[in-house]
C-alpha cells in the first residue's frame, strides 16, 4: 500500500469515527440545567413535596409531560407542573420555561430559589396560600412573559423591579394585601397586553404610569387607592383596549372623549 493510500485510509477512518461520535452525541437525551434541578428540588422541599412522576422520570425533571404535548393547565393530577424547552446548546440542555402551582394550600413566602429558574417564561401562582413580600430574586426572571399571582396574601409593595422585566405581557396582582402606591416603574412594560391589579390596602397611586402601555387590551385597576383625574391620561394612545375597569378608586373628572373614541373598547 502506498503512503498516499495509507493517508487517505486514515483520513477516512477519522471521518467515520467523527460521524459516529456526532451521531452518538445527537442521540444523547437533553438534560435539565443542573442549577435549575438544584433550585427545583429546594423549592419542592420547602413545600414538603416531591417532583411529579408525570414529569420527573428517573430523576430527570424535563421529561414526560414536561416535554411532550400534554396540556398540564388546570390538571389536578399534575400540580405542581412544569414545561421545558430542550432546544438549548444544540438540543443538549433543557430549561424550565413554565411553572404552574395554582390552587394549593402552601404557607409562608415564595422560595427565593424561584429566581434561579432564569429561563421561566410563564408562572401561575393563583390561590396558592402564599404570603409575605415577593423575593428580590424575582428580578432575575427577565424572560418572564406571564405572571398570574392573584388571590394570595402577598404583602409589602409591588416591587419596582417588575418594571425591569422587559418581556412581561400579562401581569395579575388581584386579591392580595399589597400596600400602595403602584410602582411608576410599570410604565416601562410596553409589551404588556393585560394588567390586572386590585385591592391595594393603602397609599395613593397615580394613573400616569399607564400612558406608555400602548399594547394593553385589558386594564383592570380596581380598588387600588388611585387618586387622579381622568384627564391626566391620553387614552387615545391605548387604542387596543377592549376592557377598562377603574372602579372603586378616587378618580375625578368627566369621561374624556379619548375613551369614548376607543373603537375596540367593549367594557367600561
Residue 24 pLDDT exceeds 70: no
Q: What is the reported pTM?
A: 0.88
Spell 62-96 as b/e; 16+ CB within 10 A means b.
Answer: bbbbbbeeeebeeeeebbbbbbbbbeeeeeebbbb
Say how far apart CA 190 and CA 186 lie, in whole Å: 9
Say how far apart CA 160 and CA 143 lie, in whole Å: 17
Q: Which residue has the higher pLDDT, 38 or 13?
A: 38
Q: Which grid cell sits at 237?
A: 394612545
Residue 20 pLDDT exceeds 90: no
Kindly report the backbone phi and psi dihedral angles of residue 20, in degrees, each rounded to the nearest multiple of 5, phi listed first.
Answer: -65, -40
Say how far apart CA 252 and CA 268 lie, in whole Å: 16
**pLDDT at res. 28:** 59
* Positive or negative: CA dihedral 258, 241, 200, 97: negative
Confidence label for 23 from pLDDT (cuts 50, 70 and 90) = very low
- For residue range 136-188, what is the model confidence (pLDDT) as tens digits? 999 999 999 999 999 999 999 999 999 999 999 999 999 999 999 999 999 99
Domains and CATH numbers, the chain: 27-148 (3.80.10.10), 155-268 (3.80.10.10)
- For residue range 247-266, what is the model confidence (pLDDT) as tens digits? 999 999 999 999 999 999 99
* Positive or negative: CA dihedral 236, 238, 244, 246: negative
Residue 26 pLDDT exceeds 80: no
Say how far apart CA 91 and CA 70 lie, in whole Å: 20
**pLDDT at res. 11:** 45
Place of cell 445527537: 26
* Positive or negative: CA dihedral 128, 134, 136, 141: positive
Average pLDDT over residues 226-246: 96
- The number of residues in the chain equals 268
Question: If you count DSSP H runs as helices and E runs as strands, how many of each does the chain have, helices first?
Answer: 4, 13
Helix (H) or strand (E) holding 37: helix 34-46
Q: Which grid cell sits at 191?
A: 409589551
Residue 3 pLDDT exceeds 70: no
**pLDDT at res. 112:** 97
- For residue range 111-121, what is the model confidence (pLDDT) as tens digits? 999 999 999 99
DSSP-derived secondary structure letter, 107? -
- For residue range 97-113, what is the model confidence (pLDDT) as tens digits? 999 999 999 999 999 99
Amino acid at each position: 500500500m502506498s503512503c498516499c493510500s495509507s493517508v487517505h485510509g486514515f483520513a477516512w477512518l477519522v471521518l467515520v469515527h467523527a460521524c459516529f461520535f456526532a451521531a452518538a452525541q445527537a442521540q444523547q437525551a437533553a438534560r435539565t440545567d443542573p442549577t435549575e434541578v438544584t433550585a427545583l428540588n429546594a423549592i419542592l422541599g420547602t413545600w414538603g413535596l416531591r417532583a411529579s412522576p408525570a414529569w420527573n422520570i428517573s430523576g430527570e425533571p424535563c421529561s414526560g409531560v414536561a416535554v411532550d404535548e400534554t396540556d398540564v393547565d388546570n390538571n389536578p393530577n399534575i400540580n405542581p407542573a412544569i414545561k421545558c424547552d430542550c432546544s438549548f446548546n444544540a438540543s443538549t440542555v433543557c430549561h424550565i420555561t413554565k411553572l404552574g402551582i395554582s390552587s394549593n394550600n402552601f404557607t409562608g413566602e415564595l422560595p427565593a430559589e424561584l429566581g434561579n429558574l432564569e429561563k421561566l417564561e410563564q408562572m401561575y401562582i393563583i390561590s396558592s396560600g402564599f404570603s409575605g413580600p415577593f423575593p428580590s430574586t424575582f428580578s432575575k426572571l427577565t424572560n418572564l412573559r406571564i405572571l398570574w399571582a392573584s388571590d394570595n396574601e402577598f404583602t409589602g409593595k409591588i416591587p419596582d423591579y417588575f418594571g425591569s422585566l422587559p418581556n412581561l405581557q400579562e401581569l395579575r396582582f388581584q386579591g392580595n394585601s399589597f400596600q400602595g402606591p403602584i410602582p411608576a416603574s410599570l410604565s416601562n412594560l410596553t409589551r404588556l397586553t393585560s394588567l390586572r391589579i386590585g385591592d391595594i390596602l393603602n397609599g395613593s397611586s397615580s394613573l400616569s404610569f399607564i400612558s406608555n402601555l400602548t399594547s394593553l387590551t385589558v386594564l383592570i385597576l380596581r380598588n387600588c387607592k388611585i387618586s387622579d383625574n381622568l384627564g391626566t391620561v391620553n387614552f387615545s394612545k391605548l387604542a387596543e383596549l377592549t376592557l377598562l375597569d377603574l372602579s372603586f378608586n378616587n378618580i375625578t373628572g368627566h369621561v374624556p372623549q379619548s375613551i369614548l373614541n376607543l373603537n375596540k373598547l367593549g367594557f367600561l
